[in-house]
Amino acid sequence: MRIISGKFKGKKFQFIRSDLTRPLKDSVKENIFNIIDHSNIINIKLVDSFVLDLYSGIGSFGLECISRGAKQVTFVEESRLAIKILNSNLKSLSINNKAEVFNKKVENILKIKSSKKYNFFFLDPPFANTDFINNLKLLKEKKIFSKNHLIIIHRENESKDNFEKYLNIKIIKKYGRSEIFFGTFE
Protein backbone atom coordinates (compact mmCIF):
# COMPACT_ATOMS: atom_id res chain seq x y z
CA MET A 1 0.00 0.00 0.00
CA ARG A 2 1.26 3.42 -0.90
CA ILE A 3 0.33 7.07 -1.10
CA ILE A 4 -0.53 7.94 -4.67
CA SER A 5 -0.05 11.69 -4.87
CA GLY A 6 0.84 14.83 -2.98
CA LYS A 7 3.51 15.58 -0.42
CA PHE A 8 4.06 11.91 0.46
CA LYS A 9 3.70 10.48 -3.05
CA GLY A 10 5.17 6.99 -3.30
CA LYS A 11 5.55 6.52 0.46
CA LYS A 12 4.56 3.04 1.55
CA PHE A 13 2.60 2.40 4.70
CA GLN A 14 1.71 -0.56 6.85
CA PHE A 15 -1.54 -2.47 6.47
CA ILE A 16 -3.19 -5.56 7.95
CA ARG A 17 -2.84 -8.87 6.13
CA SER A 18 -6.04 -10.51 7.29
CA ASP A 19 -9.40 -11.79 6.11
CA LEU A 20 -11.02 -9.50 8.69
CA THR A 21 -10.10 -6.28 6.88
CA ARG A 22 -10.41 -5.01 3.34
CA PRO A 23 -7.98 -2.19 2.59
CA LEU A 24 -9.01 0.26 -0.12
CA LYS A 25 -7.15 -0.81 -3.26
CA ASP A 26 -4.75 1.75 -4.70
CA SER A 27 -6.53 1.67 -8.07
CA VAL A 28 -9.93 2.42 -6.49
CA LYS A 29 -8.42 5.12 -4.28
CA GLU A 30 -6.74 6.72 -7.29
CA ASN A 31 -10.05 6.77 -9.19
CA ILE A 32 -11.84 8.36 -6.24
CA PHE A 33 -9.30 11.18 -6.09
CA ASN A 34 -9.38 11.65 -9.86
CA ILE A 35 -13.13 12.24 -9.60
CA ILE A 36 -12.66 14.66 -6.69
CA ASP A 37 -9.98 16.57 -8.63
CA HIS A 38 -11.41 16.53 -12.15
CA SER A 39 -15.18 16.05 -12.15
CA ASN A 40 -17.38 18.90 -13.33
CA ILE A 41 -20.08 17.61 -10.97
CA ILE A 42 -17.92 17.75 -7.83
CA ASN A 43 -17.12 21.36 -6.90
CA ILE A 44 -15.08 21.02 -3.74
CA LYS A 45 -11.34 21.07 -3.17
CA LEU A 46 -9.37 18.90 -0.79
CA VAL A 47 -6.75 21.53 0.09
CA ASP A 48 -7.36 22.98 3.58
CA SER A 49 -10.43 20.79 4.07
CA PHE A 50 -11.63 18.86 7.11
CA VAL A 51 -12.17 15.14 6.51
CA LEU A 52 -14.11 12.58 8.55
CA ASP A 53 -12.87 9.07 7.70
CA LEU A 54 -15.38 6.62 9.18
CA TYR A 55 -14.58 2.89 9.42
CA SER A 56 -11.08 4.09 8.58
CA GLY A 57 -9.15 0.87 9.10
CA ILE A 58 -5.45 1.64 8.73
CA GLY A 59 -6.32 5.06 7.30
CA SER A 60 -5.51 4.67 3.60
CA PHE A 61 -8.06 7.28 2.47
CA GLY A 62 -7.29 9.80 5.20
CA LEU A 63 -3.52 9.49 4.75
CA GLU A 64 -4.00 10.25 1.06
CA CYS A 65 -6.12 13.29 1.98
CA ILE A 66 -3.38 14.65 4.24
CA SER A 67 -0.79 14.08 1.54
CA ARG A 68 -2.96 16.06 -0.88
CA GLY A 69 -3.33 19.05 1.47
CA ALA A 70 -6.26 18.38 3.80
CA LYS A 71 -6.02 20.51 6.92
CA GLN A 72 -7.12 17.74 9.29
CA VAL A 73 -8.50 14.21 9.15
CA THR A 74 -10.56 12.62 11.90
CA PHE A 75 -10.20 8.84 11.81
CA VAL A 76 -12.79 6.59 13.47
CA GLU A 77 -12.11 2.85 13.70
CA GLU A 78 -13.31 0.15 16.10
CA SER A 79 -10.45 -2.36 15.60
CA ARG A 80 -7.58 -1.90 18.06
CA LEU A 81 -5.14 -3.58 15.68
CA ALA A 82 -6.12 -1.24 12.82
CA ILE A 83 -5.76 1.79 15.13
CA LYS A 84 -2.31 0.61 16.22
CA ILE A 85 -1.21 0.40 12.58
CA LEU A 86 -2.89 3.73 11.73
CA ASN A 87 -1.03 5.46 14.57
CA SER A 88 2.21 3.87 13.38
CA ASN A 89 1.54 5.17 9.84
CA LEU A 90 0.81 8.68 11.14
CA LYS A 91 4.03 8.62 13.17
CA SER A 92 6.17 7.33 10.29
CA LEU A 93 4.92 10.21 8.10
CA SER A 94 5.25 12.73 10.98
CA ILE A 95 1.65 13.92 10.54
CA ASN A 96 0.13 13.24 13.96
CA ASN A 97 -0.65 16.97 14.19
CA LYS A 98 -3.00 16.66 11.18
CA ALA A 99 -5.01 13.79 12.66
CA GLU A 100 -7.53 12.98 15.35
CA VAL A 101 -7.85 9.25 16.00
CA PHE A 102 -10.78 7.60 17.77
CA ASN A 103 -10.76 3.90 18.62
CA LYS A 104 -14.53 3.63 18.99
CA LYS A 105 -17.65 2.51 17.17
CA VAL A 106 -18.74 5.06 14.58
CA GLU A 107 -22.17 5.52 16.15
CA ASN A 108 -20.60 6.31 19.55
CA ILE A 109 -18.53 9.12 18.04
CA LEU A 110 -21.46 10.51 16.06
CA LYS A 111 -23.61 10.71 19.19
CA ILE A 112 -21.13 13.11 20.80
CA LYS A 113 -22.07 16.76 20.38
CA SER A 114 -19.67 18.51 18.03
CA SER A 115 -19.48 21.97 16.56
CA LYS A 116 -16.87 20.91 14.00
CA LYS A 117 -17.97 21.00 10.35
CA TYR A 118 -16.46 18.64 7.78
CA ASN A 119 -16.02 19.05 4.03
CA PHE A 120 -15.41 15.40 3.14
CA PHE A 121 -16.90 12.24 4.60
CA PHE A 122 -15.57 8.83 3.66
CA LEU A 123 -17.54 5.78 4.78
CA ASP A 124 -15.97 2.40 4.14
CA PRO A 125 -17.88 -0.02 6.39
CA PRO A 126 -17.41 -3.77 6.12
CA PHE A 127 -19.38 -4.96 3.11
CA ALA A 128 -21.67 -7.09 5.33
CA ASN A 129 -22.49 -4.08 7.54
CA THR A 130 -25.81 -2.40 6.77
CA ASP A 131 -25.97 -0.49 10.09
CA PHE A 132 -23.88 2.23 8.49
CA ILE A 133 -27.12 3.59 6.97
CA ASN A 134 -28.21 4.58 10.49
CA ASN A 135 -24.87 6.36 10.89
CA LEU A 136 -25.41 8.17 7.59
CA LYS A 137 -28.80 9.31 8.90
CA LEU A 138 -27.14 10.42 12.15
CA LEU A 139 -24.51 12.40 10.19
CA LYS A 140 -27.29 14.24 8.39
CA GLU A 141 -29.23 14.94 11.60
CA LYS A 142 -26.13 16.20 13.46
CA LYS A 143 -25.44 18.72 10.68
CA ILE A 144 -21.67 18.44 11.06
CA PHE A 145 -21.18 19.08 7.36
CA SER A 146 -20.14 22.39 5.87
CA LYS A 147 -22.23 24.00 3.15
CA ASN A 148 -19.78 22.74 0.52
CA HIS A 149 -19.31 19.04 1.30
CA LEU A 150 -19.01 15.60 -0.26
CA ILE A 151 -19.93 12.17 1.08
CA ILE A 152 -18.12 9.19 -0.44
CA ILE A 153 -19.33 5.66 0.33
CA HIS A 154 -17.44 2.48 -0.61
CA ARG A 155 -19.66 -0.59 -0.95
CA GLU A 156 -19.64 -3.95 -2.69
CA ASN A 157 -21.36 -3.68 -6.06
CA GLU A 158 -23.65 -6.58 -5.11
CA SER A 159 -24.96 -4.83 -1.98
CA LYS A 160 -28.54 -3.68 -1.99
CA ASP A 161 -28.18 -0.67 0.26
CA ASN A 162 -30.92 1.92 0.35
CA PHE A 163 -29.38 5.17 1.50
CA GLU A 164 -30.61 7.39 -1.32
CA LYS A 165 -33.31 8.88 0.91
CA TYR A 166 -30.55 10.41 3.07
CA LEU A 167 -28.16 11.32 0.30
CA ASN A 168 -28.37 13.23 -2.96
CA ILE A 169 -26.31 10.90 -5.20
CA LYS A 170 -24.19 12.79 -7.77
CA ILE A 171 -22.00 10.01 -9.21
CA ILE A 172 -21.84 6.19 -8.96
CA LYS A 173 -18.76 4.31 -10.15
CA LYS A 174 -17.97 0.59 -10.21
CA TYR A 175 -14.46 -0.85 -10.01
CA GLY A 176 -14.38 -4.65 -9.83
CA ARG A 177 -16.18 -5.62 -6.60
CA SER A 178 -16.26 -2.01 -5.41
CA GLU A 179 -19.04 0.49 -5.95
CA ILE A 180 -18.35 4.11 -5.02
CA PHE A 181 -21.14 6.60 -4.34
CA PHE A 182 -20.50 10.35 -4.34
CA GLY A 183 -23.21 12.55 -2.89
CA THR A 184 -24.28 15.39 -0.66
CA PHE A 185 -26.85 16.07 2.00
CA GLU A 186 -29.63 18.38 0.89
Can you give the residue ranges of every domain in the chain? Answer: 26-184
Instruction: Kindly write down the DSSP assignment for every residue of 50-118, as one continuous string.
Output: EEEEET-TT-HHHHHHHHTT-SEEEEE---HHHHHHHHHHHHHTT-GGGEEEE-S-HHHHHTS-----E
pTM metric for this prediction = 0.94
Topology of the domain covering 26-184: Rossmann fold (3.40.50)
* CA pair distance 49, 58, nearest whole angstrom: 20
* CA nearest to 7, candidates 65, 53, 90: 65
* CA nearest to 59, candidates 27, 18, 91, 107: 91
* CA pair distance 84, 106, nearest whole angstrom: 17
As a whole number, mean pLDDT of residues 168-174 equals 94
* CA pair distance 57, 81, nearest whole angstrom: 9
Q: What is the pLDDT of residues 20-74, one digit of tens each?
A: 556 778 889 999 999 999 998 888 999 999 999 999 999 999 999 999 999 999 9
The pLDDT-based confidence of 126 (bands split at 50, 70, 90) is confident
Across the chain, mean pLDDT equals 91
